Structure 1
Amino acid sequence: MKNCFDVIGNDIVDLRLAAVESDPMRQRFLDKVFTKREQAVIFNASKPLKQLWLLWTMKEAAYKAHQRRFSLTRKFNPLVQQCVILSQSGDSASGEVKIGTRVYHITSIYNEKYIHSLASINPGATNFLWEILPSSADLRKDFLLDISQQYGIPAYSLAIEKDRNFVPVLMYKNKTFPIAFSFSKHGKFGAFSRELMNY
């Protein structure tokens, strides 16, 4: 692993916007994004469209974690990802996404407005915080204020920059601050997730 800290990714889908943006249930789209096994999971669900977006967010979250973990250039190929839902209830799910030999552990929450998924390389990880905000909020500003308050660091000394692969990294006094985090935004919702660390 390239970094000394954990790796996470997150993704959020505004279900109301997703319902009018396109027709994801068309076969051509399904074949580009989901394996036959995943398509069976979608069509066997009581709410197929919602299940589709659940699998989508799980794959996107895992992709972001994988890209960060191995410092990869942007190349989202969902068919190389094998997504399995391990448990699912009325408002949450957990599962795994396998990319090659690497497994990402997924925790998802959802309601009638959005689906949010978080990917981690550690099974059963509880050392993460996520916050879902209106898309009008400044995710980066809220994230930096959150870090500032937790670690007692002046917000003006923190910055977010992108590395050569356009992955955001947190900087403190021009040095990388070793914390895993991820941003996502869609429609009326935005989210950031971050690792909880004790220094």
Structure 2
Amino acid sequence: MLTGFSSPARTLLYVIGQIAGSAVGALALKIVVAESVAEKYGLGGCYLKNTIYADGVVQEVGIEPGPGLLAEFVFTLVVLFIAFSIALDPKQFQVTGPILAPFMIGAVVALMSFMSGGLMAVNGGYTGAGLNPARCFGPAVAMGGSLWDGHWVFWAGPFLSALAIGVIYHAIPPHHVELYRSRADIFTQIGNMIKGKSTASE
């Protein structure tokens, strides 16, 4: 929305769909997995801190909201920047194409997940950057408890990253928003590529 790629109404529907789908999926997962597994892994939810039992002593380990917010902002910003630079920029899309672009974005998401998750080795209870608020929201709804502690961080970080991307693509030359207004060309190119392959196979 901030880059002119999506209307406010479409963005709102997209956000509602994501968080609703996340909640339904997490509740369904809670039903089918063992309670002990759900409690142990929090259905894949997002923690800043968690409680562990070591040598009969209860310890709370993890990171504070400040460092967590910074990590969420930085790692999500990298993912968004790559996505807009490679896939959503019509000029770059002509180079990467409909196959390489999604692969590269997926690789970056995986890399950011592993890198942020590496902080867990040092800080114990931290599960790494969520990269998408919906991924954290569903498990929090289904499991509750400590998954809500610092939950705002997993919303604020991506939101600030989105603002930063909006500034980058609106305020810093070249003004890519003009390219996004021709975004239909991307889907036209994909259609033409598919048609071309179908014709060649026949």
After TM superposition, the score normalised by the length of structure 2 is 0.26
After TM superposition, the score normalised by the length of structure 1 is 0.26
**Larger RCO: 1 or 2 (CA < 8 Å, sep 6+):** 2
Q: Which one has the largest radius of gyration?
A: 2
Higher strand proportion: 1
